[in-house]
Structure 1
Amino acid sequence: MSDSKTLSEKTPLEANAPPAPQEQTDRPLTPEEEIAELEKLLSQEPDDFQARCRLGELYFSQGRLDEALAEVKKSIEMAEGLRTEMDRSLAMYYSNLGTIYGTKGMMDDAAIQFRRALELNKYDVLALFNLGRLHCERKEYLQAKDYFERLIEITPDDPIAWYNLAGVYEKLDDPQVSDYNTLDMAIQAYMKVLELDPHHLECSFKLMDIALNLKKPELAIKVMEEAVAQNPDEPLAYYNLINTYEKCKMFDLAEETRQKLKDRFAKRSREAIKS
């Protein structure tokens, strides 16, 4: 048998030897090549923040100052947008944390979280609403007024916000609470609630009481007639309309409404029996 090796055979030393070095084919891009690559990338993905920052750096290093200025401005604009979005998200979490504290009855801790939310995002609706409610519960109506007024600016079509603001205006009109004359503002706010939500019975009752106390029977009657029209299956609406008619000495209309109430609910009882 021959002792010579074939071409495919290796000695142990040869088998363990490191591979022969290969010629290096990869090389770093030149600044101009990297600029070209980044420009191409940003033409396809203009919101790539890191790419835009790097492009600005490269322009500056190459003395292309006008282009560097434009890119850095765009980078700042993007960064501000990202920060604003992050602040909004973080504010939402602080508001959620405040809501949890409030549910647990830890009102001071809740207030801290809601205020922190507003530091991050002054338009945080949940924080504004809850701080308004918290100050109302503490009978701090001036502070509550500020929060609800800010809330209305953000959500002008929210009947709940208007209802809470109306209640604050009504409280502030009390001479024992403040020297503000805000009852007319309360009336306007309650009317706004009914404009946005005609079925809001509590608002109708509040407005009726204010109108009667101010000796404005026409307004009280109008409000309660509309309440019955919007809530035809709600006995409380009829009872309050009847009461309003009687206070205004309109006894015929009170009796007529009382009969309508009886007829309507007698009909409902018959229909329920048939079904």
Structure 2
Amino acid sequence: MRRRPLAPPSPARLTVRPYAPADESAVLRLVNADRLPGQPPATPAMLADALAGRSRADADWWAELDPPVTAVAETPGGGVQGVVSYALRPPDDTGLILWAHCREQAPVARALVDHAVAALAPRAVDAFHLTSALTLGLECLPVRHRPDTRAALVRAGFADQRRWRYLRRGLPAAELPRVPGLLVGPGPDGDPRKRQLTVRDERGEAVVAEALVGAHGGYGALWWIGVEEHARGRGLARRLLGSALATLTDDLRATQVILLLDDDDTDATAQDIRDRTAAAALYGRAGFTEIDLLHAFTRPRAEGP
């Protein structure tokens, strides 16, 4: 006799309560169940930073927030099914849903979103606008991997907006050319896990191209890469990309790398679109594949009578 799959919990059987230290293991399992390829596993230290509202990425924006509130959804038997963290940004009186995880169980996603919206009402609410300490540079919600969370947000009145394409490839990338004689130094913020690559002109004076990479526990990220307009069209971007991936492999010991490619058409100029198209072609030829699309969400202020 075939065993029937377990049904997801119904909203009526879920209780949302404040996070407690005893929930740590269950919450980490939820976070890691939602982890995208190219992302490091979440650790207790990463969770502690997220609960406290700390993040190396977007640090200035996190500093604007009140201390976050984190809640878990559980069944009557005490099983933690989901988690959501939210906060208030006093300067503009806006609420933020910072992160949420639920193994994409639709009833749990709805319960978490509804709880956060009710707690932040009647303010406008932004969801998944900041990079939390639980990820390596993952800004916004990966909508292909998280369809039920996206549906819960839309159901609650949020509008979504394309922000990024999330790309990944394995390392090393020995097939890519490199820039001879480029300068490799620490990142501009002093983070020991980052390296800045600089290419100067033939006289060694003007900077013509730069890249910034970082890694955490074998997982690498290409934070940005840029070539001055007058130096384009000669293969420098491809060579710099090869050098950046070699730095991740040889110096920072990364075995894979992710990057975010701009996908936001809001106020994009024709030149922006051309640059984005050229970047996508560069990364595609270099072996990157698209893993997901990252969206941010906004819910307007509720206007009462």
Larger RCO, structure (CA 8 Å, separation 6 or more): 2
Q: TM-score, normalized by length of structure 2? A: 0.21
Higher strand share: 2
TM-score by length of 1: 0.23
Higher helix content, 1 or 2: 1
